A and B are shown apart, each in its own frame.
Chain A
């Protein structure tokens, strides 16, 4: 009788150990997902703000993201500039790129009465242009993103590895998102942005220079993309000129998921997609891993099927496009 009892408690112990391992594994993945979700969230917010104000999908947004990450690499590794300054310069570079994009590609197109289709194609072309320019000058080889030693600190918490990196990225993103939410909801410029996105002409009757507001939105969106690029570099450690396409597309999906034009929705969408993607790979057996891109799209199709305008309420007068 005694022997049987001892066996039972062994089995229970084993089962508990297995469960704990599973839980730990998932928690570990979630920690990774926080960084990834932050990266996507920032991209999604940028997309959604630009869509909200101009009604256009800025396909080149992913390339601005790449410019943020890649230029930091160039400044820090090739030009040997201290990392913090390189990072700041990278953010400035991506912001300027966004402004140039608005000034020389989108504005002339819109000014000449470009249809929504035309603007869409032109943004697609712009993204190809930027990406291949970088690929041509720098070749598409992967480079190591410079990570200052400071970031490599690691903590062990109850069996999970949490890097200082992850905490900082997540914290920075949360802070940025809070600031942006506050800004969009309460500041005069934020209210003006929402007014312009609703009705540009009436806003001009209040003395709002809509061109300036559009520039501000592009600036903020591109800044966010640049920061997102830095976070990506810190998280994944590798940068190359064609790195912008996939995160850009995923970020766009996250924005659509959250209801296009809806800023908090985009943030949440970013985390949903990020966490979802990581959990998908973590939980399913390894042979399904290459299907990872599929997961995002299937998720998108499902949500669009059930709720064609995304999870949350979109914030534009024209919800989704021109086919009304």
Chain B
């Protein structure tokens, strides 16, 4: 197991959000976390990246416990996070944002080659490389956020709602890029509200409801399940 959330119960201040959640990610996989708003999907990702500490349970990466580490230390282990709402640095240019993405890269040549890889994946970013990030469109910002997270060629990429607020054409092209990223060796944990797309992209998925794992399994099975079809796919 590359990354695992083991029996984690946690929340914010006094409000419990997750209850004994178990999620695992194997090398090379794309796994989706689906569920309604407030189910705890973003909280799970935040727990992995160290913003919230688990009250019970533990988080392991490469069989090493990481739940006591600071966010910036977790990144250096190889886990990159692309937050919900993109959170790009609006005061910096596209290039500077990507440079921040590659902050931990020491070697200049490695930085350049990673940068070029991102530009290959997202030609639009290269066109606008000196533009201030705050003036980009929603889709371009999402590309920037993903590109920035991928600069370090992480082992694990956590994506939080990449399709949020984007036109369907854009969503398709972004999901294609996600697949390319995955084929190059990065495992992906994807939080998505768009259930059908998520199940298309991911091999496995977990269904979170009110902080608990309601269902889990291979995507093709979940797609056929009556429960998922009724609650999330709107098919009766």
Listed in ascending order, the chain A residues whose CB lies under 8 Å from chain B are: 188, 191-192, 194-195, 198-199, 201-210, 315, 317
Q: Are B71 and A195 in contact (CB under 8 A)?
A: no
Q: Are B83 and A202 in contact (CB under 8 A)?
A: yes
Given contacts A191-B92, A195-B92, A198-B92, contact A208 B87 (CB under 8 A): no
Given contacts A208-B72, A209-B72, A210-B72, contact A203 B92 (CB under 8 A): no
Q: Are B101 and A206 in contact (CB under 8 A)?
A: yes
Interface size class of B (residues with CB under 8 A): 20 to 34
Q: Are A206 and B87 in contact (CB under 8 A)?
A: no
Q: Are B92 and A204 in contact (CB under 8 A)?
A: no
Q: Are A198 and B75 in contact (CB under 8 A)?
A: no
Q: How far is the CA of A209 from the CA of B104 in the complex (A)?
A: 11
Top 6 closest pairs, chain A to chain B, by CB = A207-B75, A204-B71, A207-B104, A202-B87, A204-B72, A206-B103
Interface flag for B90 (CB, 8 Å): yes
Q: How far is the CB of B36 from chain A (nearest CB, A)?
A: 25
With A188-B99, A204-B70, A207-B104 known, 12 other A-B pairs at CB within 8 A are: A191-B99, A192-B100, A194-B89, A204-B72, A205-B75, A205-B81, A206-B72, A206-B75, A207-B75, A207-B152, A208-B100, A317-B91
Interface flag for B140 (CB, 8 Å): no
Q: How far is the CB of B3 from chain A (nearest CB, A)?
A: 16
Listed in ascending order, the chain B residues whose CB lies under 8 Å from chain A are: 49, 51, 70-72, 75-76, 80-81, 83, 87-92, 96, 99-101, 103-104, 148-149, 152
Given contacts A198-B90, A199-B87, A202-B89, contact A191 B72 (CB under 8 A): no
Chain B's closest residue to A315 (CB) is B91
Partner of A188, one of B72, B103, B152: B103
Chain B's closest residue to A261 (CB) is B91
For chain A, what secondary structure do more than half of its interface residues adopt (helix, strand, loop), or is it mixed? Answer: helix
Chain B's closest residue to A191 (CB) is B96
Q: How far is the CA of A317 from the CA of B91 in the complex (A)?
A: 9
Q: How far is the CA of A118 from the CA of B93 in the complex (A)?
A: 34
Point out the residues of chain B lying under 8 angstroms from A317, CB to CB. Answer: 91
Point out the residues of chain B lying under 8 angstroms from A199, CB to CB. Answer: 87, 89
Q: How far is the CA of A203 from the CA of B72 in the complex (A)?
A: 8
Q: Are B103 and A208 in contact (CB under 8 A)?
A: yes
Point out the residues of chain A lying under 8 angstroms from B80, CB to CB. Answer: 205
Q: Are A205 and B99 in contact (CB under 8 A)?
A: no
Q: How far is the CA of A199 from the CA of B75 in the complex (A)?
A: 16
Chain A to chain B contacts (Cβ below 8 Å), 27 pairs: A191-B96, A194-B89, A194-B91, A194-B92, A194-B96, A195-B96, A198-B90, A198-B91, A199-B87, A201-B51, A201-B71, A202-B83, A202-B87, A202-B88, A203-B89, A203-B100, A205-B71, A205-B81, A206-B72, A206-B75, A206-B101, A207-B72, A207-B104, A208-B103, A209-B70, A209-B72, A210-B72
Q: How far is the CA of A206 from the CA of B90 in the complex (A)?
A: 15
Chain A's closest residue to B151 (CB) is A206
Point out the residues of chain A lying under 8 angstroms from B76, CB to CB. Answer: 207
Q: How far is the CB of A286 from chain B (nearest CB, A)?
A: 47
Q: Are A205 and B90 in contact (CB under 8 A)?
A: no
Q: Are A192 and B49 in contact (CB under 8 A)?
A: no
Q: How far is the CA of A203 from the CA of B91 in the complex (A)?
A: 13
Q: How far is the CA of A36 from the CA of B162 in the complex (A)?
A: 53
Chain A's closest residue to B97 (CB) is A195
Point out the residues of chain A lying under 8 angstroms from B96, CB to CB. Answer: 191, 194-195
Q: How far is the CB of B136 from chain A (nearest CB, A)?
A: 15
Chain B's closest residue to A317 (CB) is B91
Point out the residues of chain B lying under 8 angstroms from A208, CB to CB. Answer: 72, 100, 103
